[in-house]
Structure 1
Amino acid sequence: MNLWELTAPCHFGTEAVLKREILDLGYEVTRVEDGRVTFEADAQGVADANLFLRTTERVLLKVGEVKAETFDELFEKTKALPWENYIPKNGKFWVAKANSIKSKLFSPSDIQSIMKKAIVERLKGIYGISWFPEDGPEFPIRVAFMKDVALIGIDTSGVSLHKRGYRQMTVKAPITETLASALLMLTPWKKDRILVDPFCGSGTFPIEAAMMAADMAPGLNRHFLAESWEHLIPKECWEDAREEARERVNLDIETDIQGFDIDAAAIKAARANAKMAGVDRLIHFQQRPVSELHHSKPFGFIVTNPPYGERIEEKSNLPALYREIGESYKGLDRWSMYLITAYDKAENDIGRKADKNRKIYNGMMKTYYYQFLGPRPPKKGSIKE
């Protein structure tokens, strides 16, 4: 099978987690940059990456990387790329997205238009036709300019990979499934440890944690655009990946994963989403304010996405809310707390400086992942709790 370069974009600040995931799948990482990880893989790797990676938004098949400071240069260098290696005569192709940072070419619509024309010119010459029916498989092209260098790839995923298919009901300001997974992976939490999200909203943190605990592939219950690229990726690749994913699922495990929220509608949505994901048996949801957060056992984890105060009228409530978080956390025996927020006075109101603080971009919003570290539990059998 051919070896391709695949590029997986991710939230800024979570690249190390995605790199580890790719290595764990058995593929070689060739480059790690801000917001993306590039790796080598064959056709099976395209299926594996889409089905099993928890922290990437999509998987791009890299066609090339070109430096272009003028539209003429962009046209010629795009035309020189081997598009016929990927797009068949009847393929439907378009430049679905273009973005540009610190580059002379910055108009997305102009970049899209010029590149489409260049690809058409290339394929007209290769296939000896002047008109393309575009009634076959879809090949959406994405281009990202950084300092005049464009990374050009074809999207193999289609709908963004954060859409696992289980979140039918949402509440305001939900965290994406990919970011929730990355934040969980930045903690030492394992399936045999306690996990509580006291601001669970529609249940993303508990559901993603339960899927990890059950070894349930995030893409198991959805489809991907490249499944129609049978000239590049045989059907067996997808069948093999799905068969492995199904065999790995283990719901016969004991977990202590809990989600609380003060909003009854949020709890209803969380329960419905957990059921849709197939992990409702592994999670306990309850309507409860953060002030009533308590647990009898030590060495648990809080992982949560509390309100940031995005609306001006909510900002006045934040100091009291974060003081409640601090008080509840203080009452838990040897627990760790991981909290993502854009509220810059969080540590002050919680009443403790975080042991670690990681800057992460949630979309375009700069947030802080505050990490309050509890002690490690003793090795089993060494000390009685």
Structure 2
Amino acid sequence: MNHFTLIATAAMGIEALVAKEVKNLGFENVKVDNGKVMYESSSKGIARSNLWLRTADRVKLLVGEFKATTYDELFEQTKALPWSDLLPRDAKFPVIGKSIKSKLYSVPDCQAIVKKAIVESLKEKYNVSWFEETGATYRIEIALHKDIATLTIDTSGDGLHKRGYRYLHNVAPLKETLAAAMIMLTNWQYDQPFVDPFCGSGTIPIEAAMIGQNIAPGFNRSFVSQKWHLLSSKDWREAAEEAEDLAKYDRNLQIMGTDIDHKMVELSVNNAEEAGLSELITFKQMQVKDFHRKEVGGYIVCNPPYGERIGEKIQVEQLYRDMGETFQQFPTWSVYVLTSNEKFETFYGKRATKKRKLYNGRIKTDYYQFFGERTKSFGKH
């Protein structure tokens, strides 16, 4: 079996970006839906998807999809799917679930029924009455939405945002996948200056360095499907060799991360070292008012405090004023700011050229985009 339908799950608002990544990897029959992108793939494509997708949350293998309004329907149609083609006799197959706007709303019941149906299906294939589940993990999900049941197997394991470099982080870390999305929604090129003046644990500068040198984001971590019989060691070896060949380690980058808190700067330095990118990024303790650059046409991409905690509001509003007064002294620079503060433009002192709705976890945010004069005139932003 070497033809699969994959689902790359995505945070709300960046599905089109994930779809663009999928298409750039050469996959076909790409379909975009709320929170997911579906496409056709070979077994090697499972490895390539996990290694390369910067903005997707995880990659799932679609087993089947059908309408189910009764538990009998759920059981029978789940049992009819080709589980023995996917799960070996010793497979460990936990079942998780969710249900939205469906008659079958009890998730524990749905999980139990799906588990029982898969066991019954495998019994007929392997002619055994008990499965010890001591082998590789195939985490199955039953997702019900408006009575449509979708059964998938997770190929990633840990979410794709876990690149393997951020063992330590600040209190409210920005996910690596969202940081990558923020960068990819700009037209920044590797030979242009790039600054994050609120670097926190260094996620945005580190992701920028990986993008700048075309380093596959999953290159330094493992995935649950590496132990599957569906993928050969050759699939993973060739995918890894491709990632190594496509990396541009000789590119010089001008990336800086600054933060007012020296502890955050130390954290960023440690994470960059863990990622093997410390020589490419400069980290510095500095307040935003002290920002100054001589270059023309640089990029500022940042996730400043939102001011949602009690006692922070006035300080954050002043911070936004400082940002506006400081960054507007550099009219050729493009500025990108993610915040949930709906009055950001008022405090910043300028209307954004463009803004886009994004979700930082469960927080609804706007991504404010201020295009620099020179880059705008040349069609870049």
TM over 0.5: yes
1:290 & 1:271 partners in 2: Cα distance?
Answer: 19
CA gap of 1:359–1:238, structure 2 versus 1, over 3 A, is same
Distance 1:309 1:214 in 2: 34
Q: How does 1:287-302 map to 2 (within 5 A)?
A: 287-302=285-300
Which shifted more, 281-290 or 332-341? 332-341
Going from structure 1 to structure 2, the CA distance change for 1:331 and 1:275 (only over 3 Å counts) comes to same
Once the two structures are TM-superposed, the CA of residue 378 in structure 1 deviates from its matched residue by 9.2
1:351 aligns with 2:349: yes
Q: Structure 1 counterpart of 2:19, which letter?
A: K
Task: Quote the residue 2:205 is aligned against.
Answer: 206
Q: Tell me the equivalent position of 1:3.
A: 3
Q: Which residue of 1 aligns with 2:176?
A: 177
Q: Report SS of the residue matched to 2:97.
A: strand
Q: Deviations over 1:193-250 (max 9, x none)?
A: 11111111000010000011111111111111111112x1111000011112122223
Query: 1:36-81: per-residue Cα shift (whole Å, max 9, x none)?
Result: 1011000110010011111111111110112122222222221121
Counterpart of 2:277 (choices 238, 263, 279) is 279
Tell me, yes or no, if the aligned pair for 2:114 and 2:142 is still in contact at 8 Å.
Answer: no
Distance 2:69 2:145 in 1: 11
Q: How many pairs align?
A: 378
Partner of 2:79: 79
Q: CA shift at 1:114, angstroms? A: 1.7
Paired amino acid for 1:63: V
Question: CA–CA distance in 1 between the matches of 2:74 and 2:296?
Answer: 59
**1:117 match:** 116
After superposition, where does 1:37-116 map in structure 2 within 5 Å? 37-95=37-95, 97-116=96-115
Root-mean-square deviation (Å): 1.6
Which residue matches 1:141?
140
Q: Is the 8 A contact 1:23 1:29 kept in 2?
A: no
1:308 aligns with one of 294, 306, 309: 306
2:35 maps to what in 1? 35
User: Within 2, Cα distance between the matches of 1:305 and 1:198?
Assistant: 9
Partner of 1:383: none
Question: In the alignment, is the contact (CA less than 8 A) between 1:29 and 1:37 conserved in 2?
Answer: no
Residue identity opposite 2:237 in structure 1: E
CA shift, 1:151, in A, is: 2.0
SS of 2:38's equivalent in the other structure is strand
Question: 5 Å matches for 1:312-351?
Answer: 312-351=310-349
Q: What letter matches 1:172 in structure 2? A: V
Aligned counterpart, 1:12: 12
- Work out the CA distance in 1 between the residues paired with 2:311 and 2:149: 42
Deviation at 1:92, TM superposition (A): 0.9
> For residues 32 and 354 of structure 1, do their structure 2 counterparts lie closer, same or farther at Cα, with a shift above 3 Å needed?
same
What is the Cα deviation at residue 105 of structure 1?
Answer: 2.4
Find 1:263's aligned residue among 256, 261, 264: 261
| Inter-partner Cα distance in structure 2 for 1:281 and 1:67 | 54
CA-to-aligned-CA distance 1:323-346 (integer Å, 9 cap, x gap): 111111111131111111111111
Which amino acid is the alignment partner of residue 310 of structure 1?
A: E
Normalising by the residue count of structure 2, what TM-score does the alignment of the two structures yield? Answer: 0.96
Three-state SS of the structure 2 residue aligned to 1:93 is coil
- Secondary structure of residue in 2 paired with 1:360: strand
In 1, Cα distance between the equivalents of 2:174 and 2:47? Answer: 25
Per-residue CA deviations over 1:240-278 (Å, capped at 9, x if unaligned) read 111121222233222111101001111001001011111
Question: Do the aligned residues in 2 keep the contact of 1:9 with 1:58 (CA within 8 Å)?
Answer: yes
Paired with 2:73 and 2:356, the residues of 1 have a C-alpha distance of 39
Superposed displacement of residue 18, structure 1: 0.8
Structure 1 position 374, deviation (Å)? 1.5
Counterparts of 1:119-268 in structure 2, within 5 Å, are 119-230=118-229, 232-268=230-266
| SS of equivalent residue, structure 2 residue 138 | strand
* C-alpha separation in 2, matches of 1:379 and 1:241: 40
* Aligned partners of 1:61 and 1:155 also within 8 Å: yes
Amino acid at match of 2:148: V
Name structure 1 gaps, 5 residues minimum. Answer: 381-385
Structure 1 residue 169: deviation in Å? 1.6
